[in-house]
Structure 1
């Protein structure tokens, strides 16, 4: 297994990034200013993007693993890599996600704790209704982790 930092041609990972954030115009808001990491294990399995939000806080803007590789620990391995990468540079990492039980469990299992909620985020910021597991995403749930 290898995790690489990607500095150029970040859009080559768009198909995978769209699995976690299905509107390209939203990805365009953070992709170039963010750090992109790609996890390979006999081919590309998972990617994530992290942005600086303040002097002390970074944000995990996107993390995605190809669906056929879900449950193999690739997302968690990628998270642990970025925790170590940013430890000492930032004090806190935050992530915003939809109100989906399986996604919230994933983040909580990896040390994040629910911080706050932004009402109607998905309705106000996306050009189409978003669903996860048949449930429409409405509010953005923010979680944080001390690094």
Structure 2
């Protein structure tokens, strides 16, 4: 298994995978080039994530995605372990915002995040069409925080 930081000129090559976690190209482009993209390879590309600087003390996990056929194999958690280590000492905390979906919240909580706050109507106010995950409409953005 190998995790690599991707250069700015190569980031666009990962759009297909990033779109699994955020289906709006315009939203991805808002954070992709101001953040750092990491890719996890294990006999091919399995997972990616984007982390951006939000303040002197806080970074934010903006996107993490694993190809569907590799979900549940631990690749997302391994990628998180790597970025926690990478950003420890640079930031005090990492935020992540996500939909109010039980399995997604459980994934982040299993990896050390704690629920912080929510932004009501984020998905309905910021996306041009209704967003769904497994037939559940995304409405509020739930933020979680992990101390690094």
What's the TM-score, normalizing by structure 2?
A: 0.99
State the distance in 2 between where 1:10 and 1:26 align.
Answer: 15
Aligned-partner Cα distance in 2 for 1:16–1:114: 26
Matched with 2:58 is 57
1:111 and 1:142 mapped to 2: Cα distance? 13
SS of 1:79's equivalent in the other structure is helix
Taking structure 1 as the reference length, the TM-score comes to 0.99
* SS across alignment from 1:9: helix
- Deviation of the 1:9 alpha carbon: 1.9
Do residues 5 (structure 1) and 5 (structure 2) align? yes
- 5+ residue gaps, structure 1: none
Deviation at 1:140, TM superposition (A): 0.1
Query: For this pair of structures, how many residues does the alignment match?
Result: 147
- The corresponding residue for 2:68 is 67
Aligned Cα root-mean-square deviation (Å): 0.4
- For 2:122 and 2:61, the matched residues in 1 are separated by 17
Q: Distance in 1 between matches of 2:119 and 2:92?
A: 22
Alignment gaps of 5+ in structure 2: none
Aligned pairs for 1:26-41 (under 5 A) are 26-41=27-42
Tell me, in whole angstroms, the C-alpha distance in 1 between the residues paired with 2:136 and 2:51.
27
Q: Secondary structure at the match of 1:111?
A: coil
Rounded to whole Å, the distance in 1 between the matches of 2:134 and 2:23 is 14
